[in-house]
Structure 1
Amino acid sequence: MVSTSWRHHTIIVGFLMVLLETTVGSSAQSAPAPGVRTAVSASPSEHVILFVLEGFGQDSLKGGTMPSLSKLVKEGSVTWSATGVKPALRLPTMASLITGLPVEKHGINWNFFEFSRGYPRSPSMFDYLDLSGGRDSAIFYMDESLYQLARPEPYTDYQLCGALRPECSPNKIVAFIRQYFRKATSGHGYGHAILSLPHLLVVHLPEAGRAGVAHGWNSKEYRDALRTVDTAIKSVLDLFKEYTLSDRTTVVVTALSGQGTDPGADAPTTDAPVVPWIVSGVGIKHGQVIHQPVSIIDTGATVMRILGLETHTEWDSKAVEEIFQTAAAASAAPPSKKQ
């Protein structure tokens, strides 16, 4: 159960968000126009889970600290050198991930929630998912700065908490997601928006990055935090199995920062942001090292491609075609082993 204080906090923040004006980014793109063309892909995936980590890189898997994530890497496609954005900070990077635009286009170059700046004007992947195929999204953020991106729409549901609240942890986020699934399948929907399970589930898990910054990147606390994040990933994947969704789901994993950098700083701690980018599941090549250049900005278009949708818009996000199985290869691929 969510505590009363959490409910009051959520209600207050929700009220503030409704009052926000969409004033960000004078040069940002306008909302997508009606009549966006759609195209159905051969991909059979109906659901996408997008895990967004922090302080995570290839070395984070050493020592067996993240068995669930290691399995996704082994059974999917991966690059450890996807480019991030500049400035390499949490809020600008997450804004680029969900809008498919570089910082200079979406206009969010600060790193904290500021009520007066409003929501970004640029359409997000959540908007495109709805316009192109009527797909809904559920988003679970774990940092107060990301309130800036939680623009209310009838096809999105948000839950937000942050480091300032002690109860906000990966375990708590998993509990919120489980509660969300129960309510979403109750026939009455969840809150004000989605009346069924979401096609896109976004899960922000910054715990490891925070531990690395606070205690050091070789510390026991950092390794323990990696295990906690991996346990949360496994719990979400197990939830999809419980609802018999695994054979219709594709998983995307990326990060707002690599190991050794602090996306929550006042100023960037790196001028050359590089992050991992992993895709695994239905319709995705197994054991594939991605050779083409990949940017975290490409996440949105790739999610659209996974779900068989096409936008025909002017955003900078491009689907990473190299990761997808051909129809013949997909039909010949052995079924995934059940855990």
Structure 2
Amino acid sequence: MVPSNLKFEKICWALAIVFMVLGSCNTAEKELKPEPLAKHVILIGSDGFGAYAFDKAKVPNLRKMMKGGAYSLQARSVLPSSSAVNWASMIMGSGPELHGYTEWGSKTPELPSRIIGKGNIYPTIFSLIHEQLPEAKKGVSYSWGGIGYLFEKNMVDLDFNGKSDSLTVQRAMHFLVNEKPALTFIHFDQPDGAGHNIGHDTPEYYEAVEEIDALVGHVLKTLEENKMMDDTVILFSSDHGGVGKGHGGKTLAEVEIPWIAYGKNIKAKGALKSSVVTYDTAATIAKILGLETPEFWRGIPINEIFGNEK
């Protein structure tokens, strides 16, 4: 017969071990959950803004971001180097092989999407915020109407198609200041218009590039005046560059795009060593906001901008 007090001790030890295991599991779960690096992310996309534009255009506001943050002028679009396919890739975290938008003006996937989310399209960064940060605001302000087919309209608090880039940024800033959203996607239609109408690598093209830089300056000024810059990350990129009056091909002038990160917890790394593809943008936004990314996304966060090499 085992003394009753000894049995009691064994039971106590067993319970203690169970509680220790449960406690360690809870701790591990907390450790695995990503922590947000900023409260707000602004994704600025400028249509047709090739990386080569930095060689000739005067872009002081973008260079301010490059100097105080991290950037690549060798980031790449997916193929074909056209609009809808690349804007979709940028916010869907995957290439056309999975999301299915394959053409310049895709409104629906030409190739059936591998995954269909609750918004009835391949899940974007907005769906991740909707599910994991249900109280957070999010919005899209865009100049090219084609953007309106590429995100879950039932999951955003702002869906504004401006008639000009100036109106687009004004509406975005009103939303930003008043709603304090987790994510604001601002799409500018220039310098793509100048590239198609007059030609890339022309004085008129660079004039349009410089106008975009001025609008970026307006975003920076608005954040600073409203004391939001300390809690915000700005990502600036493009869908493609161009050659002559077109794009869609495989030249570096068409495929290489700028990719700039600036703001809270972004290290002043300057030029990045990392290879960046446009679908890495969505994964990077997810990391900044502390979101878990789905297995079916193919993009990865560019951790080098946070001071990590991997």
Further displaced range: 47-56 or 245-254? 47-56
Tell me which residue corresponds to 2:6. none
Of 280, 294, 297 in structure 2, the residue corresponding to residue 315 of structure 1 is 297
Alignment of structure 1 residues 43-82 onto 2, 5 Å: 43=37, 45-62=38-55, 65-82=58-75
Tell me which residue corresponds to 2:123. 123
Check 1:293–1:150 CA distance in 2 against 1; reply closer, same or farther (3 A cut).
Answer: closer
Query: How large is the Cα RMSD of the aligned pairs?
Result: 2.7
Measured after TM superposition, the shift of residue 96 of structure 1 is 0.9
Tell me which residue corresponds to 1:89. 82
Greater helix percent: which structure? 2
Of 250, 254, 262 in structure 2, the residue corresponding to residue 270 of structure 1 is 250
Tell me which residue corresponds to 2:153. 152
Check 1:283–1:122 CA distance in 2 against 1; reply closer, same or farther (3 A cut).
Answer: same
TM-score by length of 2: 0.77
Does the aligned pair in 2 maintain the 1:132–1:311 contact within 8 Å?
A: no
1:224-277 deviations in Å (ceiling 9; x for gaps): 2112101111112212222211111111111101253767x6xx2336622221
Alignment of structure 1 residues 1-339 onto 2, 5 Å: 39-41=33-35, 43=37, 45-62=38-55, 65-112=58-105, 114=107, 121-134=121-134, 135-161=136-162, 168-181=163-176, 185=178, 196-260=179-243, 268-270=248-250, 273-325=255-307
AA at the equivalent of 2:286: M
Check 1:270–1:212 CA distance in 2 against 1; reply closer, same or farther (3 A cut).
Answer: same
Check 1:148–1:228 CA distance in 2 against 1; reply closer, same or farther (3 A cut).
Answer: same
CA distance in structure 1 between the aligned counterparts of 2:297 and 2:96, rounded to whole angstroms = 12
| Structure 1, unpaired ranges of 5+ | 1-36, 162-167, 186-195, 327-339
1:80-99 deviations in Å (ceiling 9; x for gaps): 11221112210111111111
Does the aligned pair in 2 maintain the 1:140–1:203 contact within 8 Å?
A: yes
Greater Cα radius of gyration, structure 1 or 2: 2
CA distance in structure 2 between the aligned counterparts of 1:311 and 1:223, rounded to whole angstroms = 37
Does the aligned pair in 2 maintain the 1:78–1:277 contact within 8 Å?
A: yes
SS of corresponding position for 2:80: coil
Check 1:181–1:275 CA distance in 2 against 1; reply closer, same or farther (3 A cut).
Answer: closer
Measured after TM superposition, the shift of residue 317 of structure 1 is 1.5
TM-score by length of 1: 0.71
Does the aligned pair in 2 maintain the 1:100–1:297 contact within 8 Å?
A: yes
CA distance in structure 1 between the aligned counterparts of 2:240 and 2:109, rounded to whole angstroms = 27
Does the aligned pair in 2 maintain the 1:38–1:309 contact within 8 Å?
A: no
Further displaced range: 144-153 or 242-251? 144-153
CA distance in structure 2 between the aligned counterparts of 1:307 and 1:241, rounded to whole angstroms = 20
CA distance in structure 2 between the aligned counterparts of 1:66 and 1:209, rounded to whole angstroms = 17
CA distance in structure 2 between the aligned counterparts of 1:323 and 1:91, rounded to whole angstroms = 27
Check 1:316–1:242 CA distance in 2 against 1; reply closer, same or farther (3 A cut).
Answer: same
1:14-65 deviations in Å (ceiling 9; x for gaps): xxxxxxxxxxxxxxxxxxxxxxx9823262x111111111232444234562
CA distance in structure 1 between the aligned counterparts of 2:165 and 2:101, rounded to whole angstroms = 26
Check 1:302–1:87 CA distance in 2 against 1; reply closer, same or farther (3 A cut).
Answer: same
| Structure 2, unpaired ranges of 5+ | 1-30, 113-118
Tell me which residue corresponds to 1:19. none
AA at the equivalent of 1:245: M
Identity %: 24
Tell me which residue corresponds to 1:164. none
AA at the equivalent of 2:249: T
Measured after TM superposition, the shift of residue 181 of structure 1 is 4.4
CA distance in structure 1 between the aligned counterparts of 2:108 and 2:272, rounded to whole angstroms = 40
Does the aligned pair in 2 maintain the 1:138–1:156 contact within 8 Å?
A: yes
